[in-house]
Amino acid sequence: MNPAGPAGDELAERLMRLVRDVPDFPLPGVLFKDIMPLLADGPTLAAVVDHIVGAHRAADFHVVAGIEARGFLLAGPIAYAAGCGVVAIRKAGKLPGRVLSTSYQLEYGEGVLELQRAALAPGQRVLLVDDVLATGGTMAAALALIASAGAVVAGVAVLIELIDLAGRERLPMDVAALLSV
């Protein structure tokens, strides 16, 4: 579902224009959604950030968690606009100190995501963001990490949801997608 109302429709149209489809990247058969042209367009980046912050204001989040790597590019400005901080959910071996880890299924093999143990306080309300929801494995792993830190997922936001891959069906909570294709 795209965001409600004319403002949401207009934003979804801008996303369609500014997200580039790249066939066979990074592997044959994958249609990669390249959000870099969207991020490079200042007014659209601002509109996306403002929309996500507005859509989740009632969720009363205290911190924004971004998933490596393009999720980081969204989490920073969203946190700034909302007046809170960011935490990073990263691939294995990138974060120093004690970390929580969770493994998840990739198309070929297994991935591991990590979160620093001290990054989230128990009960802290987290807005989780990423660029694309595909099969949902990455998001499910990130949700599990936040839960194992004792924090609470107040909302999940992505720019684009790939409907055919049915990622949202794997997740225990709703995902707000700016564009569902």
Residues recognised as catalytic: 70, 107
Is the CB of 102 or the CB of 138 nearer to ligand AMP?
138
Q: How far is the CB of 144 from ligand AMP (least distance, A)?
A: 13
Alpha-carbon distance of 149 to 29, in angstroms, equals 36
Tokens for 21? 């489809």
Q: How far is the CB of 22 from ligand AMP (least distance, A)?
A: 8
Binding site for ligand AMP (CB under 6 A): 30-33, 67, 70, 130-139, 167
68: left (phi over 0), alpha (psi -120 to 50) or beta: beta
Q: How far is the CB of 107 from ligand AMP (least distance, A)?
A: 8
Is the CB of 114 or the CB of 130 nearer to ligand AMP?
130
Is the CB of 10 or the CB of 107 nearer to ligand AMP?
107
